[in-house]
A and B are shown apart, each in its own frame.
Chain A
């Protein structure tokens, strides 16, 4: 939580969640399977430059279940084996959310929600309530929540 991003509001986030579904070719009510979506990303115009790799757990820090890296070629989503396996085999909601979170990071980045390294933000983070709408990792969480909850069939 060391980074902030441009401010937004609940109404805009709900709109982004609906837009995300449209761009991915989902209706506003059908369930989204993040594990299946990973393979489909390069076929979607908005996500052509996104790839993913599954890494041995020891290749990422203990407190990082998955991460999204931006480079000259586009975006690379790195996912721990235990997270992908949990999402695939057991359909564990938390693990599926980790994957969805990283996919939405790409979407948020393309919408202009880039991380801003601000020393003032790091000082003021103690007053967290006034910053909730500007914390960089929270942006994708809210859009994920908005995208996934749209379907009554979304389990986990």
Chain B
């Protein structure tokens, strides 16, 4: 049984603060099963939770960056905004969505390398 990075981050924060998942749910004003689903990777972390968590646990900038990294690594869904995308970019997004499930490790690594080169 493995928690998501976000779930692990929250678990450690709770232990340090002598809290339990019920306290997290009260802090975030949601039901406990929702908190549990998010920490176990069944749901995405709602963005509005971030300032509440940072404020409640008084996270410094380093810890906040750690929280954001953990949230990013725990995402279950991602959205791409195509509002101002060109036709080619749209085609790429659609093709990527179609092929994602069957994408092999080597192909994925090659795409990442190519996109990183493009960023530079």
Residues of A within 8 A of B (CB): 35-36, 38-40, 42-43, 49-56, 71, 73-76, 81, 84-85, 88-89
**Given A39-B15, A73-B1, A84-B21, A53 and B40 contact (CB-CB distance below 8 Å):** yes
B1 touches A54 (CB 8 A): no
Q: Which of A53, A55, A73 contacts B2 (CB 8 A)?
A: A73
> Nearest-CB distance from A50 to chain B (Å)?
6
Residues of B within 8 A of A (CB): 1-3, 11, 14-15, 18, 20-22, 31-33, 35-37, 40
Q: A130 CA to B117 CA in the complex, in Å?
A: 73
> Nearest-CB distance from A78 to chain B (Å)?
10
Across-interface contacts of A74 in B (CB, < 8 A):
1
A51 touches B22 (CB 8 A): no
Across-interface contacts of A84 in B (CB, < 8 A):
21-22, 32
> Nearest-CB distance from B24 to chain A (Å)?
10
Across-interface contacts of A85 in B (CB, < 8 A):
22, 32
> Nearest-CB distance from B14 to chain A (Å)?
6
B21 touches A51 (CB 8 A): no
